Amino acid sequence: MTSKYQAGLFDLDGVIVDTAKYHYLAWRNLAHKLGFEFTEQDNQRLKGVSRMRSLEILLEVGNLALDEAQKTALAKQKNEEYVSYIKQLDRSELLPGAEACLQQLREKGIKIALGSASKNAPLILKNLEIEHLFDAVIDGNKVAKAKPDPEVFLLGAQELGVPAMDCVVFEDAEAGLQAARTAGMLAVGIGQAQDLPSADIVFPGLYAVQLDDLFQF
């Protein structure tokens, strides 16, 4: 692999912090209120997926068909519960190696962007006290098309002023890795190789990434 990459684009949930457990709590409680079970295995289907699409998957599991107004109200209800959890989030919940990775890249002059589906990303970055490590923040408030559409990462590259082909994406969701590939970026999977067929390379966590093999230091 040539060391030509000039920017790193980072997914949030599953790469920098494990907020999936709080999403799960809130979705499971909503399912219970609606009268059905929502398992951890069902929750795997929500990884990297937008809030509305997540609700649609949950309703599929419960075999419920609701109209748009009802769906909007339920998504709001779920988000209020989720936000009550992430308001309590602190630096102890940073995933191993995440902050060190961002800091090291910054020190070496590599540009950094967030590329997350979450509309709550600003609050999460603030509570983790890592906002200052990003040159650009692209989140669910800024993009219209969900991953696997490459919009979130293309916008990140554009805000950083770096050509897409010089960007590396770190992602834990298969849809996000597909988005990275479609954008013409290097797709680094965070997790287990068997779950991430679209990754160019996979590491178990940011702690395991050899940054000087990837970037132009």
Q: Number of C-alpha atoms within 13 angstroms, CB side, residue 73?
A: 6
Site for ligand B16 in 34-63 (CB under 6 A): 46-51, 54
* 62, 97, 122, 140: which one binds ligand B16 (CB under 6 A): 140
The answer to whether residue 200 is catalytic is no
| Identified catalytic residue from 13, 139, 166, 172 | 13
Nearest to 97 by CA among 208, 212, 214: 208
The answer to whether residue 90 is catalytic is no
User: Given the structure tokens 């999977």, which residue do they identify?
Assistant: 189
Question: CB of residue 86 vs ligand B16: minimum separation in angstroms?
Answer: 8
182 binds, among ligand B16, Mg ion, none (CB under 5 to 8 A by kind): none
How many angstroms separate the first and last alpha carbons of the chain? 14
Site for ligand B16 in 100-119 (CB under 6 A): 116-119
* Bridge partners (DSSP) listed for residue 9: 113, 169
Nearest to 43 by CA among 34, 192, 31: 31
Q: Which residues bind ligand B16 (CB under 6 A)?
A: 11-14, 23, 46-51, 54, 79, 116-120, 140, 173
What residues act catalytically?
A: 11, 13
